[in-house]
Amino acid sequence: MASNLLFRRLITPILLIIFCAALLIAVCDSVWPGSLLFVGSASFVAAIASSVLLAIRYSREQARVLMDSVSQALGQDAPQRAAPLLIDEAIATVSNEVASAITHASTDKAQLMTIISSMSEGLIAIDHRQRILLTNRAAEQLLGLSPDATGALLWEAVKLPQIPELVSQVKLTGRRQMIDVGPIDGRFLEITVARLSADRYPGLIIVAHDVTEARKYEELRKEFVANVSHELRTPLTVIMGFVETLQDGALQDPETAGRFLGTVARHTGQLRNLVDDLLDLSRLDSEEHLPAREPTDIGAVARRVIDLLLPKARGKEQNLTSAIDEGLPKVSGNADLLQRAVANLVDNALKYTPVGGKVTVACRQEGGHVVIAVSDTGIGIDAEHLPRIFERFYRVDKSRSREMGGTGLGLSIVKHVVQAHDGQIDVDSEPGKGSTFSIRVPTIAKPASLPEDAVA
């Protein structure tokens, strides 16, 4: 089309020049006979030169038009019209611009695909016929897609019937929809479907988010609230019952009143212990409220616990002994928290060890850790309970634990204290023979010694 336009623009002035040259030749021949050869040659040269100049002028004009059109298509400012460009220069410039645009588009696409493939959420893009255009690795893992699902129909590739149904709803309503599905291989998914555009035949995008951990935490929260409510209700019910009995006249009987008031005092103390344990757990959960850590002697902490609980052991005719190595390296910790953790373990051991039993507190070094082990010859714990004994309010024997004044939070507090000190806790137990709880806390690393030549 451009070449036809150029031809039409050039042919008229060229024919006009040739006509003028022929007219000039005829006039000169009539005025000056014999000058036909000279005048004809000069007119021919002038016609050719004029045609070439016209061709150059129009070619430059067409190059500028071509450059303006390309620049507008690429979203760039039009080039300055004062700069003359030849056809080959214009074509070279256009080629470079197009190549640069293609390179940028390829780079953007590669970056987008990298982002999509690294997403933890599963992603599926489909067209208006529900044919899969794009998937990522997370979608393959969460929804069971095959790696070559691209190009397949959605209902063939996805085994969950809820997803095609949700896609149909979004196509009808045009509104974003979300549902929860699961469990699928032990996982719960949150599926979101939305339109990609407002076109008449839009594609859709499906996003699958793994909410298993959120569900787990939600269940734990509900269980925690239920347990706290139950733990508070039980002693409060007992307290209210005895108070009402005292108000109805039992207060007039000194013996009965004393017994009832003793029960009220015991359950009141249980409530206080429960509140204190809840506050301790709240502080341990928040790193901002953790006490400062400093070099701490674990052996000294264990000795203080033994001195504190020795009267209780003697009251049950139990043998509370220690096996603490000398010269243990210090750990970076808080002495009060560590003492609370060790005291909880020793107190539990005394509670569940029968009269005449033995409880031993041992401290030793193992590599870069100090180990505090509390062993007893008590009733032991069945293997089925071991994975859950550090959960809040979990009790192996609920009735017996409450009778002994336990809150169900002691071992959970121990676990939180150990984790706050970058340590770990393990338990080894056998029913009828006893249990051993072991706390491992890293020691303070000694600074590397300098070479002798460096010191010199």
DSSP strand pairing (358-366 vs 319-324): parallel
- Nearest one of 195, 205, 211, 212 to 123, comparing CA atoms: 205
Nearest to 378 by CA among 355, 410, 406: 355
Q: In this predicted structure, what is the pLDDT of residue 292?
A: 79
Q: Does residue 456 carry a pLDDT above 50?
A: no
CB 424 within 8 A of CB 418: yes
CATH code of domain 120-210: 3.30.450.20
In the chain, what is the greatest distance between 2 CA atoms, to the nearest angstrom?
163
140-182 residue pLDDT tens: 888 888 878 888 888 888 888 888 888 888 888 888 888 888 7
Q: Tell me the three state secondary structure of residue 161.
A: coil
Residue 37, pLDDT score: 47
Report pLDDT for 304: 92
Classify burial at 138, counting beta carbons within 10 Å of its beta carbon; exposed 0-12, middle 13-18, buried 19 or more: buried
Domain positions in the chain are 2-107, 120-210, 215-285, 292-442
Question: Is 20 exposed, middle or buried, given 0-12, 13-18 or 19+ CB atoms closer than 10 A?
Answer: middle
pLDDT value for 154 = 84
- Give CB contacts under 8 A, 24+ apart, made by 61-69: 62/2, 62/5, 62/6, 62/87, 63/87, 63/89, 63/90, 66/2, 66/90, 66/94, 67/93, 67/94
State the DSSP code for 443.
B
Digit-coded pLDDT (tens) for 94-142? 667 777 777 777 776 677 767 776 777 888 888 888 888 888 888 888 8
pLDDT category at 3 given cuts 50, 70, 90 is very low
For 299-353, what is each residue's pLDDT tens digit? 999 999 999 899 888 888 899 998 988 888 999 888 888 998 999 999 989 988 8
Count CA atoms within 13 Å of residue 424 on its CB side: 3
173 HSE (CA, 13 A, CB side): 11
Task: Indicate if the pLDDT at residue 388 is higher than 80.
Answer: yes
Q: Check: CB of residue 73 under 8 Å from CB of residue 97.
A: no
CATH code of the domain occupying 215-285: 1.10.287.130
Residue 81 CA to residue 48 CA, distance in Å, equals 28
Spatial separation of the C-alpha atoms in residues 414 and 339, rounded to whole Å: 10
Bridge partners for 193 per DSSP: 177, 206
Residues constituting the chain: 456
Residue 44 has pLDDT above 70, yes or no: no
pLDDT band at 376 (very low <50, low <70, confident <90, very high): very high
pTM: 0.54
Backbone φ and ψ for 83, nearest 5 degrees, come out as -90, 110
Predicted local confidence at residue 430, as pLDDT:
87
> 276 versus 62: which is more confidently predicted?
276
Residue of 304, 220, 235 lying closest to 270 (CA atoms): 235
Distance of alpha carbon 352 from the chain centroid: 42
Please check whether residue 281 is in contact with residue 409, taking contact to mean a CB–CB distance below 8 angstroms.
yes
Task: Express the helix, strand and coil content of the chain in percent, nearest 5 each.
Answer: 55, 20, 25
Mean pLDDT on 221-227: 75
For the chain, the average pLDDT equals 76
Cα 133 from Cα 129, distance rounded (Å): 11
Q: How much is the pLDDT for 201?
A: 62
Stretch 388-417: mean pLDDT: 74
Q: Tens of pLDDT along 264-310?
A: 888 788 788 777 777 777 777 766 666 778 898 999 999 999 998 99
CATH code 3.30.565.10 for 292-442: yes
Question: What stretch of H or E contains 308?
Answer: helix 298-315
User: Closest by alpha carbon to 377, among 349, 401, 405?
Assistant: 349
Q: At how many degrees (to 10) do helices 410-420 and 254-285 cross?
A: 30
Among the residues of 316-447, which ranges form H helices? 335-351, 398-403, 410-420
The pLDDT assigned to 346 comes to 92
